[in-house]
């Protein structure tokens, strides 16, 4: 529950920060007289000298109003910005780049709000998205029991091949010197057989663990509650299955981590022994460092438009921020669908998968004034860039989250 509370706090903070960035003031009644801050004469909504709001409130109701506005940030500009962000992103970006900014939420503000909202939703829907029901567990258990028989056969065959390879190596006369092709070939055969036997044995252990965990899913597990020692029954979710398998593999030394730094490797392996904590650390790191997606993306955007005149890094930053905001909204829709309408989840995810390239195409076409062909080939490259940038980002947050 602490993860959900922290996620809610982060979302509130993001809303307040977004409000501060956009510099919106609730209440625009004009005032006259002297500015309460600097004493300059007032002629409108704001002081022309220091910029402070002319009308000063001292009521608790106004404080609540400002707080709610900072979180929700849904003034008239939001209703202008969000439809354009979804349906006409090129127009929105072009207008903002060329100075029509007062009627829109700034790219950085909407990025903060949508990204932190996404992680806030994930904190409450994550378990529901990946949890397995009893029927699914029964199907997986039947498949696992069928597969384990094949694995047992493969382990037996691999062990027999290893014994034969070792016997063949031992049968080479001692008169054959080291380095001789015959002896080297036999040595390589033994090494290959050892590697295959090890891999098959590991596959079998993982399969046996999977069956054990799935059997727990199928059974009612007694859970002690209260000081009186009373119990109730609870189903183990699919997420528990994953956590259990990862924890067992980490404790058995079956997970190898090689970052090049032994201290970091040790920390990561220790975190993986408690996968639930590891996932929390990674998620926490992800929303703290989500802004890194912008500097990661900018060099690629610059290279893609390096020969196009009149385009600056600021323009690319606006495109990236609005695009990431749209992607965050898509992920929110996907998570909420999994939570409230699981029956159409696959359909919604298919629509989302199609919406991403379509949105990128029309976004860069309108933002940069490209023709259809230029926008099309750049879209294809940008999708590859997105995969690369996200891969770099996720690798970074996994290492930071587990090693921190």
**Torsion of Cα atoms, 245 then 290 then 270 then 253, to 10°:** 50
pLDDT tens digit sequence for 208-258: 877 777 776 666 544 444 444 444 444 445 556 667 777 777 777 767 777
* Distance set, CA 68 to CA 50, 53, 61 (Å): 26, 19, 11
Output the furthest CA–CA distance in the chain (Å, rounded). Answer: 109
For residues 145-162, average pLDDT? 89
- Count of CB atoms within 10 A of residue 110's CB? 28
User: DSSP secondary-structure letter at 172?
Assistant: S
Residue predicted with more confidence, 88 or 397 = 88
pLDDT exceeds cutoff 60 at 128: no
With vertex at residue 225, the alpha carbon angle to CA 221 and CA 229, rounded to the nearest 5 degrees, is 100
pTM > 0.75: yes or no = no
pLDDT tens digit sequence for 57-91: 666 666 666 655 655 555 567 788 889 999 999 99
């Amino acid at each position: 529950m602490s993860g959900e509370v922290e996620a809610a706090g982060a979302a509130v903070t993001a809303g307040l920060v977004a409000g501060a960035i956009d510099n919106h003031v609730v209440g625009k009644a004009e005032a006259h007289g002297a500015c309460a801050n600097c004493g300059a004469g007032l002629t409108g909504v704001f002081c022309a000298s220091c910029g402070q709001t002319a009308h000063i409130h001292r009521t608790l109701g106004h404080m609540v109003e400002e707080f709610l506005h900072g979180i929700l940030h849904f003034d008239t500009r939001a209703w202008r910005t969000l439809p354009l962000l979804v349906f006409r992103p090129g127009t929105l970006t072009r207008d903002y780049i060329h100075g029509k900014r007062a009627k829109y939420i700034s790219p950085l503000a909407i990025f903060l709000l949508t990204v932190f909202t996404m992680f806030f939703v994930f904190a409450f829907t994550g378990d529901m998205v990946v949890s397995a029901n009893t029927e699914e567990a029964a199907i997986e258990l039947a498949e696992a029991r069928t597969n384990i028989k094949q694995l047992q056969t493969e382990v037996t065959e691999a062990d027999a091949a290893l014994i034969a390879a070792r016997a063949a190596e031992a049968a080479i006369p001692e008169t054959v010197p080291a380095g001789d092709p015959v002896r080297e070939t036999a040595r390589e055969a033994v090494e290959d057989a050892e590697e295959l036997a090890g891999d098959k044995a590991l596959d079998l252990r993982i399969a046996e663990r999977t069956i054990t965990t799935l059997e727990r899913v199928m059974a009612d597990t007694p859970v002690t509650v209260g000081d009186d020692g009373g119990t109730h029954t609870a189903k183990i979710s699919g997420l528990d299955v994953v956590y259990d398998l990862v924890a067992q593999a980490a404790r058995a030394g079956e997970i190898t981590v090689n970052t090049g730094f032994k201290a970091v490797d040790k920390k990561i392996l220790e975190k993986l022994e408690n996968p639930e904590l590891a996932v929390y650390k990674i998620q926490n790191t992800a929303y703290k460092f989500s802004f890194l997606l912008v500097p990661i993306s900018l060099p690629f955007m610059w290279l893609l438009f390096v020969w196009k005149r009149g385009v600056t890094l600021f323009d690319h930053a606006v495109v990236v921020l609005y695009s990431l905001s749209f992607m965050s909204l898509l992920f929110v829709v996907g998570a909420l669908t999994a939570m409230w309408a699981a029956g159409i989840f696959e359909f919604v995810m298919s629509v989302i998968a199609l919406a991403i390239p379509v949105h990128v195409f029309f976004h860069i076409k309108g933002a940069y004034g490209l023709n259809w062909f230029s926008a099309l080939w750049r879209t294809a490259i940008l999708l590859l860039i997105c995969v690369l940038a996200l891969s770099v980002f996720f690798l970074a947050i996994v290492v930071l989250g587990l090693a921190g």
